[in-house]
A and B are shown apart, each in its own frame.
Chain A
Amino acid sequence: MRLTLRALISHGRVARKMGLGPESRINMLRNILTGLVRHERIETTTARADEVRFYAEKLVDYAKRGDTDEKAMKMASFWLTEKDLVPKLFNVLAPRFETHSKGYTRMARLPNRENLDRAKMAVLEYKGNPFPPLYPVKKDNELTLINQLLRGYREDRAQQLATKA
């Protein structure tokens, strides 16, 4: 092959390298995906979470085909190293995302890891999990003075519209 500089510069290369090689990368992602299916919310480095996201969603798409499908079962048994999670995938996760067409996972950044490496961490979860939300919704207090005045104003307007109509 031509020994050009282009082989060394990685401008525009989108595929990530992880671990010792492509096989190692797939094995790592398999382990992370198994953890995700078991716990439904996991913390890893940002790069790994981003990689796993694609595979997690594809896995759910396969699971939606149903466990009678040959290909779906093969995929599930390959990707989930702990075989007790295969029924969970087909009976819990697939029905949960029946109405969703895509976007079964959510990723959020975390503070960097405390170790020397200070790695960028992220949390990855399947939507609809039983834990408290990652972005808690802060509701305005209805009883403050200004909110009570606005409530009276709104009721007044509704009444006026009702009498006009």
Chain B
Amino acid sequence: MATRSACRALERRFASAAAAAAAAAAARPLVAEVRSQRNAVFSREQARQRALYPRIEKIEVSMQGPGLDGTLLVMNRGMSTPLSCARHLTEYHVNNSVLALVDGEPWPLHQPLTDSCSMTLLTFKDSDPTLANQAYWRSCAALLGQVLQTAFKDDYTVELLSTPEVPVTSGAFCCDVALDPQLDSWTPSEESLRSLTKGAQQLIHKDLPWEPLEVAPSVALEVFSHSRCKQEEVEEKAAQHPKGRVTLYRCGDHVLLSAGPLVARTGLCSQYEVTALHSLGQGPWGLHRRAQGLSLPLQLQAHHTVWRKLRQRAEKLVEVSRLEEAAPPSPPDSTPPPTSQ
């Protein structure tokens, strides 16, 4: 009798616990589901944009650059990318090009060309690699965002906020993130930063390409239908863009939003470390955290002494002024980070 009532009590307790868990799980869609849904929408939109050119039409691309001036390549409209133009040239161009300048406009290497144009391939060792440097910084921040999204267990939500545009001289790229409220009191130890770095290195090793896709805001809103924060970001970016379109990038499984062109593939980074995770205070989406990292490309590797000094500087918090027009290079905060390492 006692056992039966005890059993019933236990059953009721377990049932209520299970019901609560089920309710919670149903309320928060599974991370894998969200990812696969975003991937599906991206692939669908990509296939639709490719199908806009059913017949092969030829365009003429004239290459500019050292040793290439005036080379004329005949490529396909809507199918050939600057990377395929580089493949027609040499292996050096394929491995070392970071970004393309199509008629003076920065163009990601995997985006298909739509018109006859003149193209320059940018590398890190040009006489003016500013655009390449900015694109590289943005891509490293995007990679950090991807690592953070996949690093935590499925019980905890991770909201990627908009990555601020940081100049290269500030010493580190940042990725703003709002973690689950359960993790508010968590401060990352050195081990956790190292495991994040290891995750990033795994992605770099896989050499995944960043596939760009220019879409209408409605499609972007559909992609990020599970995240209110991302939808607001989409609307912001659509308002800033002259044509009102939004560029999405996909790396492996992860679909992300970016302010400007990204680099061709993850394999271009060689030295990559996640240096710090600072708390910035409460925001509209929870506790704002800024993850910072430091990276150098494959062609510009640093000696370990130099790397150590740069890394020490990258641990300090990078202040970002919220001016849209001109982001003045704000000096980083020299106070030690509030979170213990």
Contacts and interface: CB of A to CB of B under 8 A. Distances in A.
A163 interface: yes
B309 interface: yes
Contact of B127 (A141, A151, A159, A160): A141
B309 A144 contact: no
Given A144-B125, A146-B300, A159-B331, 8 more contacts: A145-B129, A145-B133, A146-B302, A149-B296, A152-B169, A152-B171, A153-B309, A156-B334
Interface of A: 141, 143-146, 148-153, 155-156, 159-160, 163
A22 B164 CA distance: 80
A145 B313 CA distance: 15
21 contacts: A141-B127, A141-B129, A143-B129, A143-B133, A144-B124, A144-B133, A146-B300, A146-B302, A146-B306, A148-B133, A148-B169, A150-B310, A151-B169, A152-B170, A152-B313, A153-B309, A155-B331, A156-B332, A159-B331, A159-B334, A163-B334
Contact of A153 (B127, B128, B313): B313
Top 4 A-B residue pairs of the complex, sorted by shortest distance between their CB atoms: A152-B169, A148-B168, A145-B133, A146-B300
Interface residues of B, number: 25
A160 B296 CA distance: 25
Contacts of B334: 156, 159-160, 163
A145 B300 contact: yes
Given A146-B302, A160-B334, A152 B125 contact: no
Interface in B201-243: none
Interface string B296-309: 11001010001001
Nearest to B295: A145
Contacts of B306: 146, 150
A153 B124 contact: no
Contacts of B170: 152
A71 to B, nearest CB: 55
